[in-house]
Each structure stands twice: as C-alpha cells, then as structure tokens.
Structure 1
Amino acid sequence: MNASASSLPFAQGGVDTHAHVFERGLPLSGERRYAPAYGATLSDYLPLLNAHGMTHAVLVQPSFLGTDNRYLLQALSVHAERLRGVAVVAPSVTEDELADLQRRGVTGIRLNLMEQALPELGAQPWTSLFDNVARLGWHVELHRNAVDLAPIIDRLLDRSVRVVVDHFGRPDPALGTQDRGFKALLGYGKTGRVWVKVSGAYRCATPASTFVLDAMAQLIEQFGSERLMWGSDWPHTQFEAVMGYGESLSTLLGAGLDAAALDAILRTTALSFYGFDVEPVAHDSSATARFATRDVS
C-alpha cells in the first residue's frame, strides 16, 4: 500500500508534523553525526504534501545544521499560512531572539540529544531557556533513546513546558514496546502535557515486526489519540532507500485505527497544537535581515 490523498478518512486537511528541508552546500554543524549528500528542498517537498492530502506541515531544523536556522526561516517565509517551524537554539539564546523566531513562524525548539552526553537541564542557562519557552507557549521537542527519556521529560515538565517526544520515543529496535524506556513513556500519558509523534517507525522497529500495531494500541490507551501526531520524517535520512512519503503514511493507515482516531492524529490535534487555526503572524522584515547575517545562538 502506497497511500495518497484518496486513502485519508477526510477529503483534505492533513498535517505532516515532522519533515526537514535543506540544500547541499549549507554550513554544517561541527558536532553533526551525519549529513546527507543530497538536497531536500521545499520545492521537492510541497508536491508531496499536495499529493497526499496534507494542507499544512511542520519543518524541523535538521541536526546537521546545528543552531543556524536561516534556511528553515527562509522556507517558513514562503508559505507562512501553511508552514510552522521547530528550531534548534543554543541554551544562551535571548528572549528577544526567541520572539523574533516566533514572528517567523517557529512554535518550539528541538533537543536532539541522540548520541550526545546529556546536558544538565536543571541548571542555568537551560532553566532560563525553558522558562522563556513556557512563557511563549511553545513546546520542547525531544529526540533521545527511550531508555533516557523519563528524567529529561521530568526536567521539562518541572519548568511547565509542553513536551513533544519524537519517533515513538525511539525504543531499541530489538526490544520494541518491551523497551523499559517505552514503557516509562506510557506513564506520561496521564500528565496531559506530553505529546508523541508517531513518526519514523523504521528507526525503532525491526522489519516485518508488529511494532506499529502494538505501539499505537498502547499509546492510544495511555495518551488518547488527541495527543498523538503523525509525521512523515521526510526525506527519511539514512533510510531513503527503503522508505518514501506514501509508504510512511501507509504505516499509520495500516494500523487499523478508526476514522476518529486517524482524524485526530493526522489533522485536528496538530492544527491546534501548532497554531494553524489562528491567523499567521506578520512578516518581520527587520528580523529577516538580522537572521540573514548571523546564526541564532
């Protein structure tokens, strides 16, 4: 099954909450784990959205670009009504810089902590950053192996921050839903402050496993479909040879969910969470000029 717009339980209006755009030749972070040898531009991505019934999307800053959010901001400026962004910032970022990002369509920050030493998130300058994020009504998107998630989520919830957990929580593919970190993640459903992206299943499951069926059943039981959101994880970095946009959508559509659950996961939750149901903010040309000449740090 290779899903298209006709596969959706609604005519149009889906939201892809996790995709990346970039070009070859952009300055790369010195701390990158990986960088693709190709470009994945907005002009490549938008036709995929259209073909699969997605009217809105959330662009997530790629880890290999670090805190240089300029390309992300440029992409957001093309379709302010259709796109939102999740930026990567240094913990020392100022409140004014975050406000500039908000005016450009950014609604949260990402902590991509894969294969990194865990920072002391309960100390300065992290606590001030999270307090500023909370004041803006933003969220922190968290990417880390499942076994390490719980103490990080606790730190974020202590600062009254909404938390979005990437890629099913990244359980060990050999363990799937038996990963103790995944089991611990389920316990946060009762908080009402944690959302989970059901995206990138190929990063946390072995081929031909029942992981998606098992994980979706448990996540819906503990979180409710209203706090789960789908993302394509396009362009499926490091998995390009085995995954495409339609296949990624089919992974969810093949999980046997009812129409109401699919509508929440694919549409209504994300439309509200990322502010697509409000008027887009005005374009700030002075902010554009500043971001064109310096990194956000």
Structure 2
Amino acid sequence: MTFVQRGLTRRQFSVGLASLATATATRAMSETALPTIDTHAHVFHRGLKLAPGRRYAPDYDAPLSLYLEQLDHNGMSNGVLVQPSFLGTDNSYLVECLKQTSGRLRGIAVVDLAVSADELRALDRAGVVGIRLNLVGQPLPDLTAAEWKMLLAQVKAMGWQVEIQRNASDLAVLAPQLIDHGVTVVFDHYALPDPKLGVADPGFRSVLKLGATKKIWVKISAPYRNGAAGENFAKEAYPLLRNAYGLDRLLWGSDWPHTQFEAAQTYEKNRQFLDVLIADPGERTLVLASPYQLFRF
C-alpha cells in the first residue's frame, strides 16, 4: 500500500512529514497518518542458486507471500527487500518479487563490479534503488580503483544509495570515501560497533560524528546482531544516533526472517521492540515514515 492508497496526495505527505519534523518530541500522532516502512528484509527459497564462497545458507524458505503477511499483520504499509549475500549477484528473484507488488516494495541489489549500465537500468525499472556492500568477513574494497569509480559514478547518476554492512571502525573510514564519490550512504544494523564496547567503541563514536555530513542514514535494525546484550545496546545507542543524525535519517528495519537468529526472533517481536525503543509516538512515526523519499516510494 502506497501513501496514495492510504488517501494522501504527494503534497499532503510532504506537508505532513515537514510538520512532524518540527513538532515537539512529546506530541502524540497516529502511526496510520503516514507511511510505515520496513527498510530491511530478505526473501528467498531453497530452490535458488547459491553464491560460491558464501558464509551461510538457510535451510528453509522465506517467500514473498509470507513477508507480505508480516507487513500486513504488523501495520506496515511498505517494505524494502535486500538481496541476501548468499544469493550473490543473481538478483532475479528479488526483481521477480518487486514486480509482483505494484510498487509496495523497493529493492537493494548486490551487483558485480563490471555490471553494465543496461543491467542497472533494468534493476531501476523493477524498483531497485541501491546496491548493497556486505563486507562482513571480506577484504575492504579499494574505492579509488577504476572499476569502483565507474560503478559508484553510475550509482550516483541513477540517484541510488549504497547500503553497507561492516563494523563501525571500518565504516568510519569507508563512508567519507563513498561520500567523496557523491553517493548517499546507509549503514546497516546500528553501524555494528564492537559488541564488547557498545556505544563506547571509538568506531561508533566516529560514526556519530559522520551525522554532520547529512549524507548518511542509519538503520536501527536487528539489535541482536550487536551481541547478546543487543537490546540494551540499542537503548543506549538510539538517543546518541537521534542526536547525531536526526530522526529523518534513522530507518527502522525488521531484518526478517532474521537469518541465523530465527529461533529467538520474530517480526512481531522486533516491531514491538521499536515501541519500547522509541516510546514517543511522534518520534516513532517519523522514523517509520522517513524512508519514503530515500527509497523513492
């Protein structure tokens, strides 16, 4: 369901979002007045070809139909499908799912460095709005190399984002390089500081300073990926991120189906934790609606 389907014109949405951004933190607002967007989820099934060298592969299915049920049952108007790393650069299932949902969903693809402009344009037409760099366990890329310059120039030209998953200390180095290339940057999962240090991690402190660039968004998603005390960390990190980035640059994601944490996590549990994390309805509404323009809904 898009904001138009919810009875809002584009101008009404923009006015509503601007008004919300300037409202006091204690102002109560209905979460149904604006779009509610889940910015991080994965869909797949066991029949798909797996990428060589993958670190992990699930032994179950997470089909589009089940994800849409999660959105509906939890009052979410829109979602973003992120290409799983174990499927590599074959985005065909992602594209197939996007085409089935008539604009309700957007996609973040994983592409080869040598991807052609025609391939990128085809992904764009399908609803893809960015590329993902999942660098966990991978060598850091040389963003000054010619092939990276070419890819990032194409990403910039298309108005796409670069979503990156890496530990906070490396993000503090990589993000300024990406910004120098003129692209918008999104950090996954609270920017993944050292779980032993949490908000005291020097890398996380450097990430907070990057909020001043106004070129970076942070996903407050999957606190469990930040160690056993992930929820406590999230409660400490959220006010720091809010102050450094502003509510309009924080993004909520369910991380459904919570790969490698399936036994302890559910969509509903993560959505309910957001209510605990952001107790003020006005703040929460803005965080859920802020992805609208970034993801081109």
Coarse TM-score class (shorter-chain normalised): 0.7 to 0.9
Match of 1:27 in 2: 49
Q: In structure 2, what is the Cα distance between the partners aligned to 1:95 and 1:209?
A: 41
Q: Is the CA contact 1:86–1:107 (under 8 Å) kept in the aligned structure 2?
A: yes
1:174 matches 2:196: yes
Q: Deviations over 1:240-270 (max 9, x none)?
A: 0111001111222102442222111112x11
1:211 matches 2:247: no
SS in 2 for 1:54: coil
Counterpart pick for 2:287 among 265, 275, 285: 265
SS in 2 for 1:141: strand
Q: Is the CA contact 2:50–2:88 (under 8 Å) kept in the aligned structure 1?
A: yes
1:11 matches 2:32: yes
Q: In structure 2, what is the Cα distance between the partners aligned to 1:9 and 1:46?
A: 22
Q: In structure 2, what is the Cα distance between the partners aligned to 1:44 and 1:170?
A: 28
Q: In structure 1, what is the Cα distance between the partners aligned to 2:230 and 2:135?
A: 28
Counterpart pick for 1:144 among 166, 171, 177: 166
Q: Residue 225 and residue 257 in structure 1: after superposition, are their counterparts in 2 closer, same or farther (change >3 A)?
A: farther
SS in 2 for 1:47: helix
Q: Is the CA contact 2:168–2:194 (under 8 Å) kept in the aligned structure 1?
A: yes
- 1:189-268 mapped onto 2 (5 Å cutoff): 189-207=211-229, 210-267=232-289
Stretches of structure 1 lacking an aligned partner (at least 5 in a row)? 1-7, 277-297
Match of 2:296 in 1: 275
Match of 2:140 in 1: 118
Q: In structure 2, what is the Cα distance between the partners aligned to 1:113 and 1:52?
A: 31
Q: Is the CA contact 1:147–1:180 (under 8 Å) kept in the aligned structure 2?
A: yes
SS in 2 for 1:249: helix
Following TM superposition, where does structure 1 have runs of at least 4 consecutive aligned residues deviating by more than 6 angstroms?
Answer: none
Output the amino acid matched with 1:46. L
Q: Is the CA contact 1:21–1:72 (under 8 Å) kept in the aligned structure 2?
A: yes
Match of 2:66 in 1: 44
1:64 matches 2:64: no
TM-score, normalised on structure 1? 0.87
Q: CA RMSD in A?
A: 1.4
Stretches of structure 2 lacking an aligned partner (at least 5 in a row)? 1-28
- How many angstroms does 1:11 deviate by? 2.5
- How many angstroms does 1:9 deviate by? 4.3
Q: In structure 2, what is the Cα distance between the partners aligned to 1:248 and 1:38?
A: 20
Q: In structure 2, what is the Cα distance between the partners aligned to 1:119 and 1:80?
A: 35
Q: Residue 270 and residue 153 in structure 1: after superposition, are their counterparts in 2 closer, same or farther (change >3 A)?
A: same
Q: Residue 270 and residue 41 in structure 1: after superposition, are their counterparts in 2 closer, same or farther (change >3 A)?
A: same
Q: Is the CA contact 1:165–1:197 (under 8 Å) kept in the aligned structure 2?
A: yes
Q: Is the CA contact 1:212–1:251 (under 8 Å) kept in the aligned structure 2?
A: no
Match of 2:123 in 1: 101
Q: In structure 2, what is the Cα distance between the partners aligned to 1:215 and 1:73?
A: 34
Q: In structure 2, what is the Cα distance between the partners aligned to 1:41 and 1:187?
A: 39
